[in-house]
Structure 1
Amino acid sequence: MSAINSSSPILVYLANGVQGGAVVRAALRRGLKVRALVRDRERARALAVPGVDIVEGDLRDSSSLRMASAGVAHAVLQIPIGSQDEMRAAAENALSASIACGLRSFILRLASASRPVPCPEPSFVANAMVEDMVRRSGMPFAVVRPTLYLDNLLKPSARREIVRHGVFAPPIAESQPIAWTSVDDCAEAALTLLERGAYGGDHRIAGPESVTGEELALRVSAGLGRRIVYRAQSLDEFEGEIDAAMGPGTGRLVASRFRFFAAHRDEAETMLSGSLVPQPGLEDFQPTGVEAWVRRHKEDFQDDSPASIRER
């Protein structure tokens, strides 16, 4: 029996993004109603489907979050990457709105696997700060976090290289084994935990196997039916691409995690390499393998026209 009342919508933060959109789809597949929180309704027309109530709100504006949270019992919360001050303010606003509106529980989606020992890497520090704030809120919650997303293959620059040149070039060494996961698997895990009322866990969502860059390329090649090669991108180049796409300074924030992995291979092994070990609430969860994921998205890698290669 589901712990969620299907007559009440689930509030999905950042619903117009790649990760939030996956949560919306996962909820609709379960027959659940969704309240999709977006910053701009006009840019969220793809969410205008039966079962989805689109509401505008801004994580910098606590009053808009209270309006979005009214009448909601459960949420899937994601705090966008930014400075620690920005992420602290966003988390404070989201939590205060949730408490004020009487939310019963939520799932916190974080951007990376946990690191048990504190370190100066900014994204890990920010994640730990958000987790601490959530714990101190006293609300029932569970954490869902990925290894690395296969959906990085679908980013415009990565997809263009795959479609036109047969190259996948992420900012991580070819020799680094990774148990790749997907935004859809993380969304399924989040909704499963909500439905089962399984709170208190910290769930590292990983794929069923750990592969090096060469092994990843072989599985992508098998899924697409043509040869793809893996080439590690320099971190400076990666940082510049992120700045160009998301604004100056963002590249440094995003790339810092990969610089940490490059400098601390033992930590990278712990955080990225192990395949899924289900915890209570996800005992029967079946992660998607690389080749199966690629086959599911095969059509996305067929067309190399500018209109087709777009921000997803």
Structure 2
Amino acid sequence: MTYVIHGATGAQGGPVVAALAAAGKSVTALTRNPDAVVHGAQRVVAAGYSAVDLTDAYRGAEGVFVHLPVAPEQDRQTYAHNILTAVGEARPDHVVFSTSGFAVDAAIGGAAAALAVGLADSGVSHAVVAPELYLENLLMPHVIGSVRERGVLPYPIRTDFPVSWASHLDIADAVVALLDRTDVTGVISVGQYPAITGPELAEAFGARLGRNVVFDQITPEEFRTSMTPLMGESAAADIAGAYQAMSAMPDRSIAPETSAQKLLGVTPRTTSQWLADIGL
């Protein structure tokens, strides 16, 4: 029996592979990069995450961790369809899906929602990990560079907008727990609670760096412009659109009753703890 991990060399899958390998588990590392090097796992290259490749990888698996890459929505829809086809054909024992912060409301639509609904209809045991926003977003060059050079943390949320931030390390903790805890199903919220505002986030950076850091509420359009060189126009526009929609929301706070803290006994890192763990 083995655990199959999507995006094994990426920001979300990498920490899961490392944690499982350290625990002595048999791990199959899925990657779309034929040149990728994966330590502690059997590497499987799934070009474009084809349904055939995924079915072969999932067959006989004790657990599968899936998430959709940052890509144009049409590509994400294709990946979601292929994942569901493979789950239906291979019938792995358990699937854990991270929404990566995308909505999974069928009424809203989108690839993440399609994948969540499809897993619910598959009859395969599964759990959905639902983070709000990633702390790693703050490590994008135009964000962390501004913090270091100007003492300004720019981000496209309101100053009074509380967020239950989570790191990729927190997601890995929850995923590893869920791969072992097949009795816990449904949606598990992962993130800091109580949620914190942008100025509180900046304060944590300032304390870690030993300097004054202030929060700067920028527009989604400004954020899109900064992100485009990193991920391309289409993906940057999709993300900026999500932040534009977020501007009408009261917060991005997790619900305590569905939290990893309550359901798994896993407490996400504070911002200060995360900064120390990544060595910033």
TM-score (norm 2): 0.89
Partner residue, 2:170: 185
CA RMSD across the alignment: 2.4
Separation of aligned partners in 2, 1:160 and 1:279:
32
Mapping of residues 40-119 of structure 1, within 5 Å: 40-42=33-35, 44-45=36-37, 47=38, 49=39, 51-112=40-101, 114=103, 118-119=107-108
Q: CA offsets, 1:41-92, max 9 Å, x none?
A: 31x22x2x2x211111134522222333344221001122445543332122
Q: Which amino acid aligns with 1:200?
A: T
Give 1:180 deviation, angstroms: 1.2
Q: 1:18 is paired with a residue of what secondary structure?
A: coil
Match of 1:282 among 254, 263, 269: 263
- Classify the secondary structure of the residue corresponding to 2:165: coil
The answer for the alignment partner of 2:26 in structure 1 is 33
Give the counterpart of 1:247 among 219, 232, 236.
Answer: 232
Q: How far apart in 1 are the matches of 2:117 and 2:104? A: 14
258, 272, 279: which is aligned to 1:291? 272
Report if the CA contact (8 A) 2:72-2:235 is conserved.
Answer: no
Q: Which residue in the other structure is 2:188 paired with?
A: 203
Aligned twin of 1:227: 212
Q: Return the alpha-carbon distance in structure 2 between the equivalents of residues 174 and 246 of structure 1.
A: 26
Matched pairs, number: 279
Compute the displacement of 1:205 (Å).
Answer: 0.7
- Structure 2 distance, partners of 1:134, 1:26, is 25
Indicate the residue corresponding to 1:265 in structure 2: 249
Determine the structure 2 residue equivalent to 1:304. Answer: none
Residue 143 of structure 1 aligns to a residue whose secondary structure is strand
C-alpha distance in 1, partners of 2:20/2:82?
24
Q: Quick one: which amino acid aligns to residue 77 of structure 2?
A: R
Identity %: 26
Deviation at 1:217, TM superposition (A): 1.0
Q: Distance in 1 between matches of 2:82 and 2:262?
A: 28
Deviation at 1:114, TM superposition (A): 4.7
Give the distance between the partners of 1:75 and 1:274, measured in 2 at CA: 24
TM-score, with length taken from structure 1: 0.81
Provide closer, same or farther for how the CA distance between residues 23 and 275 of structure 1 changes in structure 2, counting only shifts above 3 A: same
Please say if 1:16 is aligned against 2:5.
no
Q: Where does structure 2 lack aligned partners over 5 or more consecutive residues?
A: none
Deviation for aligned residue 1:182:
1.0
Give distance in 1, aligned partners of 2:93 and 2:237.
Answer: 36
In structure 1, what is the Cα distance between the partners aligned to 2:74 and 2:168? Answer: 26
CA contact (8 A) 1:73 1:102 kept: no
**Displacement of 1:99 after TM fit?**
3.3
Deviation, structure 1 residue 242: 2.5
CA contact (8 A) 2:69 2:76 kept: yes
Opposite residue 67 of structure 2, the aligned amino acid is Q
2:47 is paired with a residue whose SS is coil
Cα contact 1:147–1:181 (8 A) shared by 2: yes
Change (3 A) 1:282 1:11: same
**Deviation (angstroms), 1:203:** 0.9
Query: Which runs of 4 or more aligned residues in structure 1 lie more than 6 Å from their structure 2 counterparts after TM superposition?
Result: none
* CA–CA distance in structure 2, aligned partners of residues 280 and 140 of structure 1: 21
Q: Give SS of 2:97's match.
A: strand
Which has the larger displacement, 171-180 or 77-86?
77-86
Unaligned runs of 5+ in 1: 1-7, 302-312
Change (3 A) 1:252 1:23: same
Does structure 1 residue 135 correspond to structure 2 residue 124?
Answer: no
Cα separation, 1, equivalents of 2:157 and 2:62: 40
Is the contact between residue 171 and residue 233 of structure 1 (CA under 8 Å) also seen in structure 2? Answer: yes
AA partner of residue 19 (structure 2): A
**Contact 1:171-1:235 at 8 Å conserved across structures:** yes
Contact 2:95 2:125 in 1 (8 A): yes
The match for 2:179 is: 194
In the TM superposition, residue 221 of structure 1 has moved relative to its aligned partner by 1.5
Residue 154 in 1 paired to residue 139 in 2? yes
CA distance in 2 between partners of 1:252 and 1:201 (Å): 30
